[in-house]
Amino acid sequence: MVGIFDDMAITRLTVEEFLSLAAHHPVLDVRSPGEFTHAHIPNAFSMPLFTDEERKIVGTAYKQESKQKAIKIGLKYFGTKMVKMVERTEEIIQSNAANNKDLSSEKPTVLVHCWRGGMRSAGVAWMLDLYGFQVYTLVGGYKAYRNWVLKQFEVAYPIRILGGNTGSGKTEVLQEMHKMGATVIDLEGLAHHKGSAFGSMGQLPQPTQEQFENILAAQLSQQPFTNNILWLEDESQRIGDVNIPPAFFKQMRETNVYFIEIPFEERLDFILTHYGKFEKELLINAIIRIKKRLGGLETKTAVNALIEEDVKACFDVLLKYYDRQYQKGLMKREQLKDRLTKVDCAMVNASLNAQTLLSI
């Protein structure tokens, strides 16, 4: 390589090489806090060279005056932060000591990137290299990483879909399958949402669309695909406020679905256990959100039952509504006719149902 790195012990890596090392060494994202908060490489540490306001000032100077003017302004900000950035890097390395071992060097290893692999990462890499760290940077920066992310959704995956009416405990079944050695990705877990009007209850705030894609791409790239199968739950493309990437969702819609058939009362009891614990006001607000589709009479019936402390009667109405919606969605999927396998299950029992599915 030629250029700014000529006299430095810094190696520039492709995305694949960078991510391979990132499995064992800390990644320092030197973009601004706002850029990092919006989306970042999973498990990266935010160590901004500039604040959001400083980045804006430097960028304006670069566009409206000159590169040299922007660099001078940037150096003023950088100079006052050098010591703190070195100390922060040492703290990160110490906290990751168990995984921070590079067989080719006794130096502590760090990986650094900015937006395009330009001056921000170059400046921080130079400082950390000077201090004595083994430093690697990412060719093309986060922008190159995002191109890599989008390509992951175009790869052909050996997908099998776990279907079933609401209250079948599909997420729990997937978790049990994973414990039994199957390859599983929990899309709802990644999205922090259960997919229905009640799906945000008890969940962490959802990631941005870009961060959801980053996390999903990381999961896909790391999977061993046991028995050449990847299990996913049957989902709509939209999960709360995020969307499954179109190319990947297309694959999900064109593969085999294993639909677990569980009696209504069993599913109703399961739903009561999971959602009956939430505050009445939260439940009523969720019901109101689906009023148009649920219908005025059934909305009134469900809300009144909740007010009268008859939670089971409320969820009886809601579960029948979701059953109708799910079946309607299945009927619209013409390509599913020859790819739908129904699996009878007597109860909502994650372990037993997981064993049944894996034996097919």
**121 half-sphere exposure, CB direction, 13 A CA radius:** 28
Going 190 to 178 to 223 to 113, the CA torsion angle's sign is positive
Whether 1 and 85 have beta carbons less than 8 Å apart is answered as no
For residue 314, indicate whether it is catalytic.
no
C-alpha–C-alpha distance, residues 304 and 46, integer Å: 49
Those residues with Cβ within 8 angstroms of residue 246's Cβ, 6 or more apart along the chain or in another chain: 153, 237
Which one of 47, 61, 114, 242 is the catalytic residue?
Answer: 114
Whether 193 and 162 have beta carbons less than 8 Å apart is answered as no
Q: What is the DSSP letter of 5?
A: T
**66 half-sphere exposure, CB direction, 13 A CA radius:** 3
C-alpha–C-alpha distance, residues 91 and 297, integer Å: 60
Residues that are catalytic = 114
